[in-house]
Amino acid sequence: MYQIEKAVKLADKIYLMVVKAPRVAASCEPGEFVIVRMGEEGERIPFTICDYDREAGTVTVVFQTVGASTEKMSALKAGDCFHDFVGPLGNPSEFVKEDPGALRGRRYLFVAGGVGTAPVYPQVKWLKEHGVQADVIIGAKTKDLLILTEEMKEAAGTLYIATDDGSAGYHGMVTGLIEDLVVRQGKHYDVCVAIGPMIMMKFVCLLTKKLALPTIVSLNPIMVDGTGMCGACRVTVGDQVKFACVDGPEFDGHLVHFDEAMKRQQIYKTQEGRAMLRLKEGATHHGGCGHCGGDE
């Protein structure tokens, strides 16, 4: 069992948990993920790693409630335990394998959308620890949905905020802010790393391709099983078929077939919705709609 040492709500439907998992903490790196299960019969849920403390033996994950399992998970408190906390899985960010001296000659721009701020944070933090400054854009619909801004200020060279409604920072999408920084202000970046909703990453990549700015994306939003067996995260990258969980989760964003990946992602939303109805309606759930399976 893996004890939850800290559980806090960061924003509407967004939660942070610090979990005691010494063996995972000892070897995990930025970009990797873990598989979590609440019980022996529970759903396997992949979460990218938000932070880790090797000395304390803890790993931090951040998640958004999108289905029945994450809704149940949001009710867990400090002192409760996960049945499984498996990892690290996937591949670390490419720069982890590179010589820090070479990295210091590059200018990085990270673009984080919503919960994507969580996996961006350990990457920016790792770079700072190795003497590499990186600029960061955090985007959200409104200021109330911004997360980890104080932590990111400590790690980033410069932190920029973008909100769709203009309630904080730049008024508009992250793509508008990227264009403002690069085109209007003349800032130069060698690499962009974008992590967030699939639609956000798609449009960031369309823009950065025009700007000739190499871009890495993390396809963790399309992972389901996390082992390559379910096939849910199958994606075309260039002329090759990849699986986000075992070949990634990070890929060259200019080569990812986003439309294909998003279509596959939609396949699993109906099942999640039915599970959520069963959870909320409990004994009163009768399956009268004919589609949720409650009458079986």
Model confidence over 137-156: pLDDT tens digits?
Answer: 999 999 999 999 999 999 99
Per-residue pLDDT, averaged over 116-141, amounts to 95
SS3 210: helix
pLDDT at 12 over 50: yes
Predicted confidence at residue 286, as pLDDT, reads 46
Question: What are the residue ranges of helices labelled H in the chain?
Answer: 22-27, 68-73, 100-103, 117-129, 149-155, 174-179, 198-210, 244-247, 258-267, 269-281
Per-residue pLDDT, averaged over 157-165, amounts to 95
CATH class of segment(s) 94-218: alpha beta
Predicted confidence at residue 42, as pLDDT, reads 80
- Token pair for residue 207? 């823009």
Mean pLDDT of the chain, nearest integer:
87
pLDDT digits over 76-119, tens only?
999 999 999 999 998 999 999 888 888 888 999 999 999 999 99
Predicted confidence at residue 63, as pLDDT, reads 92
pLDDT bracket for residue 229 (50, 70, 90): confident
> Hey, which residues does 47 pair with through a beta bridge?
34
Q: Please state, in angstroms and as integers, the Cα–Cα distance from residue 43 to each residue in 36, 83, 122, 287, following that order.
A: 8, 11, 26, 22
- Give the CATH architecture of domain 2-89: Beta Barrel (2.40)
Predicted confidence at residue 292, as pLDDT, reads 47
pLDDT at 290 over 50: no
Buried b (16+ CB within 10 A) or exposed e, 18-38: bbbbeebbeebbbbbbbbbbb
pLDDT at 288 over 80: no
Please tell me which residue, 275 or 191, carries the higher pLDDT value.
191
pLDDT at 196 over 60: yes
Domain boundaries, the chain: 2-89, 94-218
Per-residue pLDDT, averaged over 202-217, amounts to 96
Lowest mean pLDDT among 70-74, 151-155, 288-292: 288-292
52/88 Cα distance (integer angstroms): 11
Predicted confidence at residue 275, as pLDDT, reads 55
